[in-house]
Amino acid sequence: MKTTQKTASDIPMAGKRSVMSSAIAAAAGLTDTPFEPPVMGEAAIEVNGLNLWYGDHHALKDVSVNLPKNQITALIGPSGCGKSTFLKTLNRMNDLVPDVKITGSVRFDGMDIYDPSVDVTDLRKRIGMVFQKANPFPMSIYDNIAYGPRIHGIRNKAKLDEIVERSLRGAAIWDEVKDRLKTSALGMSGGQQQRLCIARALAVEPDIILMDESTSALDPISTGKIEELCLELKKNYTVIMVTHNMQQAVRISDWCAFFLLGELVEFGTSEQIFSMPKDKRTEDYVTGRFG
Ligand SMILES: Nc1ncnc2c1ncn2[C@@H]1O[C@H](COP(=O)(O)OP(=O)(O)OP(=O)(O)O)[C@@H](O)[C@H]1O
Ligand SMILES: [Mg+2]
Atom number of ligand 1 nearest to Cα 55: 4
What pLDDT is recorded for position 66?
97
Give yes or no for residue 4 having a pLDDT over 90. Answer: no
| 9-18, 114-123, 173-182: the lowest-pLDDT one | 9-18
**Does residue 26 surpass a pLDDT of 60?**
no
Packing angle of the helix pair 190-202, 220-233 (nearest 10 deg): 20
Q: Using most ligand atoms within 8 A of CB, pick from 52, 53, 63, 81 the residue to mutate for ligand 1.
A: 81
What tens digit of pLDDT does each residue of 216-253 get? 888 888 899 899 999 999 999 999 999 999 999 999 99
243 lines ligand 1 (CB under 6 A): no
The pLDDT-based confidence of 15 (bands split at 50, 70, 90) is very low
Pocket test for ligand 1, best of 60, 85, 242 (most atoms within 8 A of CB): 85
% the chain with pLDDT above 70: 86
pTM: 0.86
CA of 45 to the centre of ligand 2 (A): 20
So what's the pLDDT on residue 54? 97
Higher pLDDT, 22 or 289: 289
Regarding the beta carbon of 59 and ligand 1, being less than 6 Å apart is answered: yes
Residue 174 pLDDT > 90, yes or no? yes
113-133 in b/e burial notation, b at 16+ Cβ within 10 A? bbeeeeeeeebbbbbbbbbee
**Cα–ligand 2 centroid distance for 245 (angstroms):** 13
The tens digit of pLDDT for each residue in 176-185 reads: 999 999 999 9
User: Whose CA is closest to 200, among 234, 237, 166, 154?
Assistant: 166
The CA distance from 52 to 2, in Å, is 35
The CB density around residue 106, as the number of other CB atoms within 10 Å, is 23
pLDDT in tens, 80-116: 999 999 999 999 999 889 999 999 999 999 999 999 9
Residue 2 has pLDDT above 60, yes or no: no
**Arithmetic mean of pLDDT over the chain:** 87
Q: 210: which strand partners? A: 129, 240
Ordered strands of the 100-108 beta sheet: 57-68, 43-54, 100-108, 111-112
Question: Sorting pLDDT into bands at 50, 70 and 90, what band is 22?
Answer: very low
Structure confidence at residue 1 (pLDDT)? 38
Q: Which residues contact 157 (CB under 8 A, 6 or more apart)?
A: none
Q: How far apart are CA 232 and CA 213, in angstroms?
A: 18
User: Does residue 136 register a pLDDT over 50?
Assistant: yes
Higher-confidence residue of 160 and 25: namely 160
How confident is the model at residue 291, as a pLDDT? 65
pLDDT at residue 56, rounded to an integer: 97
Sequence-distant (6+) residues with CB within 8 A of 121 are none
Is it the case that residue 34 has pLDDT exceeding 70?
no
pLDDT of residue 58: 98
Q: pLDDT value at position 39?
A: 59
pLDDT at 219: 86
